[in-house]
Amino acid sequence: MFDLHPKLIDFDLKRLKNLMDKFHNPQNNLNNVVHIAGTNGKGSTAAFLREILEEHNLSVNIYTSPHLINFNERIRINKKLISDKYLINILEEVELKNDRNPITFFEITTAAAFIAFKLFPADINIFETGLGGRLDATNIIENKKLTIITKIGFDHEEFLGNNIQKIAKEKAGILRKNIPVIIAKQSRDEARKTLISNAKELNSKVIRIEKISRDTKLGLTGEFQYENASTAFTAAKFIIPSISLNKVKKGLARTSWFGRIQKLNEGKIYNLRKNITIIDGSHNQDGAVVIEKYLNKKALGKWNLIIGMLNNREVKDFVKIFKNHINQIYAIEIPEQKNSLSALDLKNKLDDLGFNTNTSKSLENALKKADDKIPLLITGSLYLAGYALKFNDTIID
């Protein structure tokens, strides 16, 4: 797939629309589409929502990105990842109908999800945008039951702009006329005002968030997850007016979402260290704030940090937010990612913050160097999180 379709971002929906015309537009014949956009919290919100809906015996198809270990993670059909057999058959058919026309990796993947969800109908179909909203491949869906905008911050500024109102307007592009929207709690007032203004223009009713009590047990770690859980609960209540609070609690407690403040309790890395190891796929400043709050709450003293980041990220701005919690930094290049910063690039940037950053040739090398008497944080990219989970022999199913 990567060889066939360069992993570039090119906002032009014509290619995918033309391709889906050849399949008679399955994306517009799906049941109860819930469309989610936002900078942070999309995946966690979708995971909470899926578990609540399934606890109420509704079947759910869900499309998310990126995958951490296996491509199949992107397309989940009624409690199971799509099988290799169906995935390969669908992708081959998509490639055949596309007939070598230019198309991006994400567009092909999205086309496969549309076809898979039509082949295996579900009560609810959840789609998470890849990037932005207005021009995201998932936004060729016209018939939606509900839209959700999670927390908006600065990310992918090279595509979405470096102005929070512009970014919010792009995310609001998933809204549809007369279709309700849930707007998660925003940390920037300008983002919320922009979203509400766009909703008013389209006569999209803004559904008020119903908060989940902090006493509720969540399957995901971090105080911020209560905001995502509240957004998911509000969506579930809209879909199921006669919702069972007992079933909501069961669904929230059972939710898992890999690579988001995930503590390793088993596997190769755990066996190597026998100490607290946290993996988190954060890569922007809002994600760094979440890490900082988590480290404050844990109060375990200084942590060692293994970091890898892509070359379109501001590594200094990211680490600066939680630098007071860090003892030693081990910089690595993210394996199999040509857009990764080199370990030396990371060192040069991070040493400006006062660290004598250690460069390591591999994750394994960094793990062996890092003192196992000190807790360890592995962060900087979802691609690094995925690689670390793969190295750990973690199974995502």
Q: Residue 39: give its domain's CATH number.
A: 3.40.1190.10
CATH assignment at residue 353: 3.90.190.20
Q: CA Rg, the chain, in Å? A: 21
Query: Same structural domain for residues 243 and 105?
Result: yes
pLDDT at 46: 98
Cα atoms in the Cβ-side hemisphere of radius 13 Å centred on 131 = 16
pTM across the whole model: 0.93
Whether the per-residue pLDDT at 161 is higher than 90: the answer is no
Q: Show the beta-strand stretches assigned E in 233-315.
A: 262-263, 277-279, 303-307
Residue 298 and residue 229 share a domain: no
What is the SS3 assignment for 186? coil
Residue 182 pLDDT exceeds 60? yes
pLDDT, averaged across the chain: 94
Query: Is residue 132 over pLDDT 90?
Result: no
Contact 323, 353 (CB under 8 A): yes
Considering the domain architecture, whether residues 38 and 121 belong to the same structural domain is answered as yes
Q: How many domains does the chain have?
A: 2
- Nearest CA to 98 out of 18, 9, 24, 13 is that of 18
190, two tokens: 């300008």
Domain boundary among 235, 254, 273: 254
Tens of pLDDT along 318-341? 999 999 999 999 999 999 898 999
CB 97, CB 161: distance < 8 Å: no
Q: Which domain holds residue 189?
A: 14-254
Question: Domain check: are 218 and 337 in the same one?
Answer: no
What is the predicted pLDDT for the residue at 252? 98
